Amino acid sequence: MQKLDLVHITVDQIKEIKSDITSMENMLKADIASGRPKIQDKVEFIGEINKKKKILKDHTPKAFRGKKKNEAYTRAKKLKKIIQDAMPSKKAYYQPYPKDGSSFDFERVVKQQMDFQNNKKMQAAVQEYKHLMRRIDPSDPSITNIELLRK
């Protein structure tokens, strides 16, 4: 198994961080040009800009290409099947709490979901799936939503 990257940020988060960087750089330029600087610690301010740029560099997903993309897609399909088989179905998961005391199915589904959430191997599979999907199509913000896999 490949080493997973740091957590990838979404398209909206990328836009927000870029907007913050642009705004902060414009603020710094305007402050310097004003002749009456209001930013007291320029080094710290520039440091904050650099932190945001580093977050962008480190956490922006880089799309797979060619053979790597095909291999990642094949692996993601296998992980999808494993995850789907371990998750309770939509019908079972979204059933209302039983009012008449017959809670066997309800309790079974709750136990299945708890087992799914607490299983370390399953959580590693979910993490790998999310990592691969974010790299397969970085522009789709919903591609890593595990709830969409629920049958």
Q: Tell me, yes or no, whether 53 and 38 share the same domain.
A: yes
Q: Tell me, yes or no, whether 87 and 119 share the same domain.
A: yes
Distance from C-alpha of 102 to C-alpha of 89, rounded to nearest angstrom: 19
Q: Tell me, yes or no, whether 127 and 102 share the same domain.
A: yes
**Alpha-carbon Rg for the chain in angstroms:** 23
Distance from C-alpha of 52 to C-alpha of 85, rounded to nearest angstrom: 39
Q: Tell me, yes or no, whether 34 and 78 share the same domain.
A: no
Question: Among the listed ranges 53-57, 80-84, 106-110, which one has the minimum average pLDDT value?
Answer: 106-110
Q: Tell me, yes or no, whether 32 and 73 share the same domain.
A: no
Distant-in-sequence, close-in-space partners of 127: CB < 8 Å, separation ≥ 6: 4
- What are 146's two structure tokens? 């595990």
Question: Among the listed ranges 4-13, 34-43, 135-144, which one has the minimum average pLDDT value?
Answer: 4-13
Which domain, by its residues, includes 37? Answer: 11-59
Decide if 149 contacts 84 (C-beta within 8 A): yes
Q: Tell me, yes or no, whether 73 and 145 share the same domain.
A: yes
Q: pLDDT, tens digit, for every residue of 88-115?
A: 777 777 766 666 666 667 777 878 888 8
